[in-house]
A = this chain, B = another copy of it.
Amino acid sequence: MADRQHSPSGEDSLIARYFKPLATDPGAFGLIDDAAVLKALGDDIVVTTDAIVEGVHFLSDDPPDTIARKALRVNLSDLAAKGATPAGFVLTLALRDADDSWLRPFARGLGEDASQFGCPLLGGDTVSTPGPLMISITAFGRVPEGKMVHRSGAKPGDRVVVTGTIGDAALGLDILTGGAVAAILGDDAVAREMLVGRYRVPQPRNALAEAVRDHASAAMDVSDGLAGDLAKLCAASGVSAVIDARSVPLSGAAATLLARGNVGLEALVCGGDDYEIVCAVPEDRFEAFAHAARQAGVAVACIGTVIAGLSVPRFLDNEGEEITLQRLSHSHF
């Protein structure tokens, strides 16, 4: 038909309807091109990529908007830990079908977070899959040249610092998957919802990025459990650490469950999905770091000290005895 107008394919119209409104950066070209342009503006571009898979990193019946937020926030969390300011992201979305009732809230949640964190959608790819939903995001940040904060760099004597609270997300996952925590909490809906919320929608600490960049000798985000991730940071730095288990910051709900003996410390410090920052801060920078954290409105807790050696960081109890952790962190393989 010679007079037929250009009619977009299913994928193109899906992108135009749901994702074009999120492509607010001029370098995204309204998502009508094959690629985006990212300007370094004299900085280094920090690149991180993290994917989440239905049934592995989120649950099939998680609300679509929280799935979107989690997919972006796990990447924002990496940028924060590297001291980088968000600059944008690209999205790969593998869907079984193009279901408007799922896509609408997904795109809304993604757009709200992109706006809140100043991290616009730059491009993406939407593919069909016969299998589980998968969302893969590559996020970009900027740091002044050479200033990305590494896992390596921690030195004996540095303080070990962690943001927020640890272990809530693991408890939230336990609740959602029918574990013991739901029954223990009984009708405490507030605690239940807080813990589930921590699993579904992490709170990346981007407000702390500048303080991390200015003061931390090493940093990473806590995604696979504090004990295992701290072990990775120490391994990359060629050091060890001693952690005072009492100092690990816990939410009221987690602290109560631990005090009552309903959960062990291991469930909290070896569970995943915290998306807090663990970092090493030299003693003479700690005061300035803590001040910057207060200014940023992010709670930070000093939980121990970096020491010389190559052994796995030790967690000590009230009596200074080492707490045995069977399994430092979660691995899918």
Contacts and interface: CB of A to CB of B under 8 A. Distances in A.
Contacts of A329: 9
B124 A49 contact: yes
Contacts of A49: 90-92, 123-125, 138
Contacts of A130: 55-56, 131-132
Contacts of A228: 9
Given A148-B37, A235-B6, A129 B333 contact: no
Interface in A222-240: 224, 228, 231-232, 234-236
Interface in A209-254: 220-221, 224, 228, 231-232, 234-236
Given A9-B228, A324-B1, A333-B14, A151 B51 contact: no
Contacts of A48: 34-36, 123
Residue in A4, A128, A134, A138 with the greatest tally of chain B CB atoms within 10 Å: A138
Interface stretch (A161-169, A182-190, A282-290, A310-318): A310-318
A11 interface: yes
Interface string A38-69: 11100011111111110111000000000000
Contacts of A311: 2-6
A178 interface: no
Interface of A: 1-6, 9-12, 14, 29, 32-40, 44-53, 55-57, 78-79, 81-82, 84, 90-92, 94-95, 97-98, 122-132, 134, 136, 138, 140-141, 143, 148, 150-152, 220-221, 224, 228, 231-232, 234-236, 310-312, 314, 322, 324, 329, 331-333
